[in-house]
Structure 1
């Protein structure tokens, strides 16, 4: 079995727990989406050097289920920037608790905007 290698920086690592699963033991897609959003926010915050807000999930693919006990790792890459916006590509892999195999389970592109203390968009600082 060929293991895909993640792109980007490791931005989040956690363990999928029973409270995040459906009755079949598969983790809810919404939980996984929120983990990816947190990972992307790490990269966006660093680039913006401050507060950001998620404004869109431009693309999202669920490739394989996440199971209770899997170690979930999200990798994020800054894909593009605008005046105040940032597109972050996020790939999520799991290490299966049962056999330690590594599987890519999702990828997506999230858009964040740099915001000021009042919540209004602000320009990104020079790169």
Structure 2
């Protein structure tokens, strides 16, 4: 795995499982949205709300107790929007083995204090 810092890191718990005993894909998507939102708000220097989520894939499975790290990067910007790529990497509970379990793309719109879309400061956001 490349040397990079996750936006968030969380452990899958029994309440995060689907009826078949695997980690629920919706839980994975929500964790990725939280990580992507943290990056959008920090880099956008304010409120950012998700307006779309696309291109989801779940190439691996997680078990209860596995640790999920969510890595995000800015893929592009619009006049008021930021597009972020998110990747979920699971680490087994009692070891160091990792595997990609999810990926997706989120688009956020930056909002002002009145809740209206505001312009992206081009010098403030770094595409990575």
TM-score (norm 1): 0.89
SS in 1 for 2:71: strand
Indicate the residue corresponding to 1:35 in structure 2.
31
Q: Matched residues in 2 for 1:63 and 1:7: separation? A: 21
Count residues in correspondence: 123
Residues 1-127 of structure 1 correspond to what in structure 2 (within 5 A)?
5-6=1-2, 9-127=5-123
2:126 aligns to what? none
- CA RMSD, Structure 1 to Structure 2 (Å): 1.6
For the residues of structure 1 that align with 2:2 and 2:82, how far apart are their CA atoms? 20
CA pair 7-80 structure 1, distance change in 2 beyond 3 A: farther
Question: Where do 4+ consecutive residues of structure 1 move more than 3 Å?
Answer: 6-9
Gaps of 5+ in 1: none
How far did 1:113 drift?
0.6
- TM-score, normalised relative to structure 2: 0.88
Secondary structure of the 2:6 match is: strand
CA distance in 2, matches of 1:28, 1:117: 35
Tell me the secondary structure at the aligned position of residue 7 of structure 2.
Answer: strand
